[in-house]
Every structure is written in C-alpha cells, then in structure tokens.
Amino acid sequence: MTDHTAPAPSDVEHLAAVLRRRREELAGAAGVRIGRGEVVHRLDTHMWAGVEIPAVGCHAAVDPLRLVASAGPVTCRRCLGSGRQAQEQVPGQTALL
Ligand SMILES: [Zn+2]
C-alpha cells in the first residue's frame, strides 16, 4: 500500500522545476501583479526548500504561481518602502491585490 501522506521525491522535483521556471519567466519583469490585482509589486526572490522562487517584496503573496509579470512601475508602497519593517502599516494603502 502506498503512503499518501508525503509527496514522492519525483513530485518534489517536479514542483521545484516548475518554481525555477516561473522565476526565469518573471526574471526580466519590472514588477509583478498578484493574479488580476492592480497593484504592481517589486519582484523579489525567496528561498523555499532550497529552491529560489519568485516573490513580492512586501510578502503579500505566498503563491509564486499567482504572480504575473507587469511592465511596471511598482505602485505598492509597501514594496517601495522596503527599508521598513515588513509588519509596518503604510498610510494611504489598504489594498495588497
Ligand atoms: Zn508589495
């Protein structure tokens, strides 16, 4: 009987390959939107399980597959104020998507 609680190594490799390809696809983008959102975020790179994955500078999205390349400019004030602490509220912006 197969153990379905843990992903098979081939599944993990497949996911890692998908995430690497996604990062390459977004590499030249000036910014990224989250799904159909209107806010343009700064493209960042995070490490996930040893794989470099695309992310937004303000951590508003956790799913790299939802990120869509945008010609920019970056309009997310949380991303633009990247020197701030991540949890800090930015006056004038309530929408992250
Ligand atoms: Zn942002």
pLDDT digit string, tens, across residues 18-55: 999 999 999 889 899 999 999 999 999 988 888 899 99
Residue 48: per-residue pLDDT: 82
How far is the centre of ligand 1, averaged over its atoms, from the C-alpha of 11 (Å)? Answer: 30
CA of 17 to the centre of ligand 1 (A): 25
* Cα 15 to middle of ligand 1, angstroms: 25
Q: Cα of 75 to ligand 1 centre, how many Å?
A: 8
Q: How confident is the model at residue 1 (pLDDT cuts 50, 70, 90)?
A: low
* Reported pTM: 0.72
Question: Strand, helix or coil at 13?
Answer: helix
Nearest to 96 by CA among 22, 23, 45, 33: 33
Question: How far apart (Å, rounded) are the C-alpha atoms in residues 60 and 45?
Answer: 13
To 5 degrees, how large is the angle CA 17–CA 27–CA 63?
55
CA distance 6 to 12: 10
If one counts every other C-beta atom within 10 angstroms of the C-beta of residue 6, the result is 8
Distance 79 CA to ligand 1 centre (A): 4
Residues 51-93: pLDDT tens digits? Answer: 899 999 999 987 899 999 999 799 999 999 865 554 556 677 7
